[in-house]
Structures are given as structure tokens and as C-alpha cells.
């Protein structure tokens, strides 16, 4: 609206503009300020005359305000705060109704701080409206590639097939997708910046079955690589534009990895089951957008990348069979390659000594769990 008025002003001759100015200045009684009353349950006072502009205050129904100026469908008003400060901002005319005009007010002595508040739409005194707490609840899915876990499951199948003399009926199922849920408590420092502390729960498992048969003999193998993580995150959200944000987080990941190899032949079975844990630092980066769906509630979606890789997981392997035998071994999650019955070399993963020296082992090392990958989530953010 202001740009249109400026363009029109340049179309009038200078003397007409000057004459109108002198006539307006010569009026005996100045125009009385208009008063409006809030008619909605909560009216948003915004930093700019724009529905997408940041909200600097919510004004309750029935509040009477003085209008300093009109810009199109927006009224610039000032709202007194409980702490004695004054906040200025724009309110849409659909949220208010005009009331009788007030008598000409006494001149108000304004301080530089109040003038700044009127110009920027921000409070001159300390106000809880400029900063607030938010609670977020989200859920989504992520891509992960714990290569050593997956290679160990496939290697066990291939190694056992070489021992029997015929291969498995197909490849084992690898772990790639994981589910995540998250909670976050954040402090909105300004309309563009938020600091938060959050925690996620991230888990994935994939159980598959293959068979070994020559038409007479039949044996099945169940495999289940699994991983779960609880990242505790300290993050920052920055809003470069309306409803759009960029997030970065530093994390401490508490990780648990596991495997299961179970062989069944008729009524007999044997299985190896292990779990190992560790914690390491990691990081996340994401971008997203949020949309207001209520007075204090917004819906958001987010996509990003997770960076977390660790080794040195320690835990326990438990071997059991149908004869009632149970063997427990403590140690490190270890990745090694071992020569099979056909002289081929196969990758295997177990919990035990990270420097295996048994016959047929070509090399061994601590297994690595790489949780890095893409993730997407959606959730609800509530403002206190």
C-alpha cells in the first residue's frame, strides 16, 4: 500500500502537494485517534503487516487499542505490557471492530526505546512474548547401513552353505530402514532463532529366513541384524524465511547392536545371539518447514542427514542348542574373515576376542556400526 501511495505522489505537481499539506496543517482540531476492540478469542499482533510475519504478542478478546495508522487491511497499534513496557505491531482489521473515537490525548513523551519499539514492533521492556518455550513430538523413518552387521549375516549364510556343500536358497535380508520418534524442548530466543534440547529413539531390525536343501536334506537359517540408538541432542533452529528453518545438532549417541543366527534341522536347532553397546558423539543437519494449525500449535516436516559412526562395542554372545547347552562369551563386537570348506573366504561377525587367532581366520578387527544416513520426520510443535 505504501509503495502505491509513493507512486501516486510523484504524479501530482509539487504545488498541489504543498497546498494540501498547508490545508491539513491549518485545521483547528487534530483528528482524534481511532480506537478498536479485539473481537476474536486471541488476536495476533505481528511484526509486519503480513499474515506470514512473526507474532510478537497475542492479545485477548475485549482489549481496546488505539490505532496509530492504517496500512491497507492492517492497523498499527500499541499494546501496554504488564511490566510497564509498550509493544507496537500490526493487527488485521478482521480481528477488531471500531469503537467510539477517543478524545484528543495528552501529548505523550516518548523515549528513544519506545520510538524504537514502535518502529520495529518489538517490546520496549522485557517481555515473555518475544521469547517462549516450545515442546515438539515427532516421528519418522531413516536410512541406515550398518555394513558389518549386514555382511556378517550374509557371510554366515555363505560360510554354512560352503560347509554343507550347497548354497542357500537366496540372499539374507539386510537392514536398511529404521523407525524414529523424538521429543524436544526448545526456547525461542527470537522470531528467527531457537535453542533446543531433545532426545530420539531410533531402531531397526530385519529378520529373514533362507533354506539349504538338495531335495532330500533341508535346513533353515534365520538371521536378524538389529540396531537401536538414543541420541541426546543439543540443537539450533534458524529461520531465514517465513515458516522455513535450518537445524543443526550436536549429539551423544547411545547405541546397541545385535545379531541372531539360528539353524534348524527337523527337531534340532542351535543359535548364536549377541548384543553389544557403546556411545559416541555425532551430529545432525536438517531443513524443514512449519505451519500454524492452532493458536499455540504448529505442524512441521523435516528432512536431514545424520552423521554417526562408532566401533569398540562391547557385550555378550550367548550360544544355545536343542540339547540344552548354553555358552556365554563376553567381549567386543568383532568382524573377521574366515576360510570356508570350499577354500573361499567369508566375512563373519561375533562377540569375542577382537584379535582372533583360530585356524582359518585371515584377519580380524573391531566391528564398526555406521548409522549415518538420511532421515525424514513430521510432528507437532506446541508453544507455551
Residue-by-residue DSSP string for 20-41: HHHHHHT-SSPPPPEEEEE-SS
In angstroms, the CA 26 to CA 29 distance is 9
CB of 45 within 8 A of CB of 89?
A: yes
pLDDT for the residue 7: 42
CA distances from 137 to 131, 193, 252 (A): 20, 19, 19
CA-based nearest residue to 40, from 98, 121, 94: 94
Kindly state the percentage of the chain with pLDDT values over 90.
59
Give kind and range of the element (H or E) at residue 253. Answer: strand 244-265
**Residues, the chain:** 384
Q: Categorize the per-residue pLDDT at 359 as very low, low, confident or very high, splitting at 50, 70 and 90.
A: confident
Integer Cα distance of 212 and 267 in angstroms: 16
Contact call for residues 245 and 224 (beta carbons, < 8 A): no
pLDDT of 175 over the 90 cut: yes
Domains in the chain with CATH codes? 33-128 (2.30.30.40), 132-383 (2.40.160.20)
Residues of 157-174 as b/e, b for ≥16 C-beta within 10 angstroms? bbbbbbeeeeebeeebbb
Non-local CB neighbours of 107 within 8 Å, separated by 6+ positions: none
- Lowest average pLDDT, out of 71-75, 114-118, 255-259, 277-281, goes to 114-118
Burial state string for 273-293 with b = 16 or more CB within 10 A and e = fewer than 16:
bbbbebbbebbbebebebebe
Q: How many Cβ atoms from other residues are within 10 Å of residue 214's Cβ?
A: 9
Say if residue 124 is exposed, middle or buried (CB neighbours under 10 Å; 0-12, 13-18, 19+): buried
**Read out DSSP for 108-145?**
-PPPHHHHHHHHHT--SS--GGGSEEEEEEEEEEEE--
What is the per-residue pLDDT for 100? 64
Element (H, E) at 166: none
Question: What does DSSP assign to residue 296?
Answer: S
294-345 pLDDT tens trace: 888 999 999 999 999 999 999 999 999 999 999 999 999 999 999 999 999 9
Is 81:127 a contact under the CB 8 Å cutoff?
yes
Contacting residues for 114 by C-beta, under 8 A, at least 6 apart: 86, 124
Q: Please indicate whether residue 337 or residue 191 has the higher confidence score (pLDDT).
A: 337
pLDDT score at 159 = 95
Q: How far is CA 239 from the centre of its chain?
A: 14
Record the cell numbers describing residue 27, joined without a space: 485545521
- Between 13 and 184, whose confidence is greater? 184
Rounded-to-integer distance, Cα 227 and Cα 206, Å = 10
Distance CA 262, CA 318 (A): 12
pLDDT at res. 269: 97
- Which of the given ranges, 14-18, 108-112, 119-123, 283-287, has the highest pLDDT on average? 283-287
Place of cell 525461542: 188
Answering whether pTM is above 0.85, one says no
- Per-residue pLDDT reduced to its tens digit, 12-49: 444 444 444 444 444 444 445 688 999 988 889 999 99
The Cα 209–Cα 319 span in angstroms is 19
How many contiguous H segments (helices) and E segments (strands) does the chain have?
A: 4, 23
Contact call for residues 161 and 172 (beta carbons, < 8 A) = no
Amino acid at each position: 500500500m505504501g509503495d502505491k501511495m509513493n507512486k501516486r505522489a510523484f504524479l501530482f505537481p509539487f504545488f498541489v502537494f504543498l497546498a494540501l499539506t498547508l490545508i491539513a496543517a491549518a485545521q483547528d482540531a487534530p483528528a482524534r485517534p481511532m480506537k478498536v476492540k479485539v473481537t476474536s478469542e486471541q488476536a495476533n499482533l505481528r511484526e509486519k503487516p503480513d499474515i506470514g510475519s512473526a507474532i510478537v504478542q497475542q492479545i485477548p478478546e475485549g482489549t481496546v487499542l488505539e490505532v496509530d495508522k492504517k496500512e491497507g487491511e492492517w492497523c498499527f497499534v500499541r499494546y501496554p505490557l504488564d511490566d510497564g513496557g509498550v509493544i507496537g505491531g500490526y493487527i488485521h482489521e478482521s480481528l477488531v471492530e471500531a469503537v467510539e473515537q477517543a478524545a484528543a490525548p495528552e501529548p505523550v513523551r516518548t523515549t528513544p526505546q519506545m520510538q524504537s519499539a514502535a518502529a520495529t514492533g518489538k517490546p520496549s521492556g522485557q517481555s515473555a512474548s518475544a521469547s517462549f518455550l516450545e515442546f515438539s513430538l515427532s516421528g519418522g523413518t531413516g536410512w541406515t547401513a550398518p555394513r558389518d552387521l549386514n555382511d556378517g549375516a550374509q557371510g554366515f549364510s555363505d560360510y554354512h552353505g560352503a560347509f554343507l556343500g550347497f548354497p542357500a536358497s537366496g540372499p539374507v535380508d539386510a537392514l536398511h530402514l529404521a523407525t524414529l520418534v523424538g521429543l524436544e524442548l526448545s526456547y525461542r530466543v527470537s522470531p528467527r532463532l531457537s535453542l533446543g534440547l531433545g532426545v530420539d529413539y531410533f531402531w531397526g531390525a530385519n529378520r529373514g529366513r533362507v533354506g539349504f536343501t538338495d531335495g532330500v536334506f533341508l535346513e533353515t537359517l534365520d538371521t536378524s541384524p538389529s540396531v537401536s540408538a538414543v541420541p541426546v541432542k543439543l540443537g539450533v533452529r534458524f529461520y531465514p524465511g517465513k515458516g522455513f528453518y535450518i537445524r543443526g545438532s550436536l549429539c551423544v549417541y547411545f547405541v546397541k547392536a545385535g545379531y541372531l543366527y539360528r539353524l534348524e534341522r527337523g527337531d534340532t536347532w542351535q543359535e548364536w545371539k549377541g548384543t553389544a553397546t557403546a556411545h559416541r558423539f555425532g551430529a545432525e543437519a536438517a531443513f524443514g518447514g512449519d505451519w500454524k494449525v492452532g493458536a499455540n500449535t504448529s505442524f512441521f516436516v523435516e528432512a536431514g542427514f545424520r552423521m554417526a559412526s562408532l566401533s569398540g562395542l562391547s557385550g555378550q554372545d550367548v550360544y544355545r542348542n536343542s540339547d540344552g547347552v548354553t555358552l556365554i562369551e563376553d567381549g567386543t563386537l568383532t568382524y573377521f574373515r574366515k576360510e570356508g570348506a570350499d577354500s573361499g573366504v567369508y566375512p563373519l561377525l561375533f562377540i569375542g576376542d577382537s584379535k582372533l587367532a583360530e585356524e582359518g581366520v585371515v584377519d580380524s578387527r573391531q566391528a564398526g556400526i555406521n548409522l549415518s544416513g538420511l532421515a525424514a520426520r513430521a510432528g507437532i510443535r506446541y508453544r507455551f
